[in-house]
Chain A
Amino acid sequence: MQPGALDRHGLPAGIVTRAIAGAVDYAVIAVTVLAIHFARVALRFLWNPVSFHWPRANFALMLGAGAVLMLMYLTVAWSTSGRTWGGAMMSTRVVTPKGNRLGLGYALARAAFTIVFPIGLFWCALPERRSVQDMVLRTRVLYDYPIREHHDLARTRPEPN
């Protein structure tokens, strides 16, 4: 680990980290939607292979399905561990103002707000590092490195004089 990482633990995460985490989450949902689509096509083929033809993808339907999946995904992730897969990869966690995990309703509201107004994320480019959702719902997204990394950083950190 590079020096300075331990100092960021518990501090608000910035735009780049959160954007990468969000991109990972969107990729997960996109892959899931595609998998569902292909599963549906396969079932149709198995049901009637003779008259099978490749169905035309309905973009709006897929988008809607993706939105629903994203809603469920974000809600469950934030209300259980506080981090999605993207957040786990980038070591960020969504917490309440007191630093606790979000409740189910709280996570659902934030998830809906994020899906409806995704552009609000880019407000965390400012020094306060808070998106529109964070300011409205009073949540925070913090750097949260794993325990092992934390201890590794503590071991490698130079002792203060």
Chain B
Amino acid sequence: MCVGAVSYATPPLTRAASVVAGPTRRIGGVLMRPPLVPSRFTPAHWLDTFEAQGRQVRGLTTAGLVTLTDEMVPALASAVLARLDPIELVKQTLDHDQVERELDLLVPFATEAILSRVEPVTLIEANLRPEQVEKLLDLYLGEVTTAVLARLDLTELVRRHVGLTSLTRDVLADIDLVGITELVIAELDLADIAQGVIDDIDLPSIIRASSTGVASDMVGDTRQSAASADDAVSAFFGRLRGSSSRDTAGP
């Protein structure tokens, strides 16, 4: 209703104001600068003076306020912080989930931005100290090695990449086999070992069997040789008798 009333009343009022504005402006001009009055005594001059004075005062006030603020704010902040535990305050007011979400969004960008500006290897080489490396190795070397070994087939790797024949040859060339053998012999009680072997393998029965075999072979060979000689002797005497019977028989 009010809006309607205002909208209804505005145009006539506007017209009225426009009619009245002209004469009013002329009247005001005369009043501000009356004719025949020196300018420094006119209301316009007084208003101008007041405006300039106000502007100057406002400038000075602003500067003073800024200076005062610069001095007061740190002191106020120190006083406030001295009475509060910022960390506790952060803990109480901080939303961890929100922080995590923000970090999840920010960290990749930050990391990419950092890595695009920094050479990681150079950075690590420049900043990683030997004792830090030692500590890292002490902490993680076992686990890393175990994980690597679990994924590799060492046997296949060695078989494929290691020249075992030449390696063995080199190893044998470097080691003192004679010395090692002498050392082994000196450490071992060969007599006991030999006795144990003899007891376990029933050496007497083996010797007996081999001796029997040798003796049997010898006797068998003797028999065969004698039988062959029998044939030869019989044949000889047979030929001899045959030729002698032809001789006695005559032509």
Interface residues of A (CB under 8 A from B): 1-2, 5, 8, 13-17, 20, 89-91, 125-127, 129, 143, 145, 149
Contact = CB atoms under 8 A, between A and B. Distances in A.
A7 B231 CA distance: 12
A14 B231 contact: yes
Nearest to B221: A2
Given A1-B220, A14-B231, A89-B219, A125 B237 contact: yes
A143 B220 contact: no
A55 B147 CA distance: 98
**For B222, B229, B234, B238, which residue has the most chain A Cβ atoms within 10 angstroms?**
B234
Contacts of B219: 89
A126 B234 contact: yes
A114 B234 CA distance: 21
B227 to A, nearest CB: 6
Contacts of B220: 1, 149
B210 to A, nearest CB: 18
Given A125-B237, A126-B237, A126-B238, A14 B230 contact: yes
B241 interface: yes
Interface residues of B, number: 16
Nearest to B234: A127
30 contacts: A2-B224, A5-B223, A5-B224, A8-B227, A13-B230, A14-B226, A14-B230, A14-B231, A14-B233, A15-B230, A15-B233, A15-B234, A16-B226, A16-B227, A16-B229, A16-B230, A17-B223, A17-B229, A17-B230, A20-B226, A89-B219, A90-B223, A125-B233, A125-B237, A126-B237, A126-B241, A127-B238, A127-B241, A129-B230, A143-B227
Interface of B: 219-220, 222-224, 226-227, 229-231, 233-235, 237-238, 241
Nearest to B225: A16
B212 to A, nearest CB: 12
Q: Identify the 6 closest CB pairs spanning chains A and B, nearest first.
A: A14-B230, A16-B229, A127-B238, A17-B226, A16-B226, A2-B224
Contacts of B229: 14, 16-17
Which of the listed residues B222, B227, B233, B235 has the most CB atoms from chain A within 10 Å of its own CB?
A: B227
Given A17-B227, A17-B229, A89-B223, 16 more contacts: A1-B220, A2-B224, A14-B226, A14-B230, A14-B233, A14-B234, A16-B229, A17-B226, A89-B222, A90-B222, A125-B234, A126-B234, A126-B237, A126-B241, A127-B238, A143-B227
